[in-house]
Chain A
Amino acid sequence: QKEVEQNSGPLSVPEGAIASLNCTYSDRVSQSFFWYRQYSGKSPELIMSIYSNGDKEDGRFTAQLNKASQYVSLLIRDSQPSDSATYLCAVKLRGGGGNKLTFGTGTQLKVEL
């Protein structure tokens, strides 16, 4: 089992719809969770961080964390074509000294007109 797993996609949603991206992780005691957006050929850009169970909202983005089920998700409301990118889930696993993160392979999102 991979330490951090994401569905590679592509996930296609129509413009204006809600995009739901999911990530599961193997280490039950992980404490820090991050979502990065990466456009093709560019470097990752942090869009959300979440540290405690529940929802965290920032504009059109909502991160959801469920530590008991070991998953973290990202919802994008009112999806726009500019949201088309690969979304990387990153987790600070137990023993992650030095703030080491483990990344999933990313989910490609396509927002269609």
Chain B
Amino acid sequence: DGGITQSPKYLFRKEGQNVTLSCEQNLNHDAMYWYRQDPGQGLRLIYYSQIVNDFQKGDIAEGYSVSREKKESFPLTVTSAQKNPTAFYLCASAVGDQPQHFGDGTRLSIL
């Protein structure tokens, strides 16, 4: 089945540690996005990528990094510089002006 796969579903980070969240899609979508959602809040854009080997900062990119080496994959690294990383992280993809579709999300917590 075509879709967007995020892993892991739950992730725990220790102080000073970088962690990487995986996002893979087999929809042949050009554009991919990372959002952060805090309790009772809407989605805030972290990074997005329209084509392979290119990506742009969203509204809250500080403390995060991404890569887009393959069309299917858009991993997000939460670095130790992100002091408040506890949130629900959502990956989405889209083609052209079509709506974005989301993966199931990764819930990140601090140990």
A residues with a Cβ closer than 8 A to B are 4, 8, 32, 34, 42-46, 49, 88, 90, 92, 97-101, 103-106
The answer on a CB contact under 8 Å between B48 and A103 is: no
B50 at the interface (CB under 8 A from A): yes
Q: Which of B61-101 contact A (CB under 8 A)?
A: 90, 94, 96-101
B residues with a Cβ closer than 8 A to A are 31, 33, 40-45, 48, 50, 56, 58, 90, 94, 96-105
User: Contacting A105 at CB < 8 Å: which of B33, B41, B90, B105?
Assistant: B41
The answer on a CB contact under 8 Å between B42 and A106 is: yes
The interface residues of chain A, by DSSP majority, are classed as: mixed
Q: Which B-chain residue is minimally distant from A6 (CB atoms)?
A: B42
Residues of A within 8 A of B48 (CB): 98, 100
Residues of B within 8 A of A90 (CB): 100
The answer on a CB contact under 8 Å between A8 and B40 is: yes
The answer on a CB contact under 8 Å between A99 and B40 is: no
The answer on a CB contact under 8 Å between B43 and A44 is: yes
B94 to chain A minimum Cβ distance, whole angstroms, is 5
Known interface pairs A44-B90, A98-B31. Does A88 touch B101 (Cβ–Cβ under 8 Å)? no
Q: Which A-chain residue is minimally distant from B54 (CB atoms)?
A: A98
Residues of A within 8 A of B58 (CB): 100
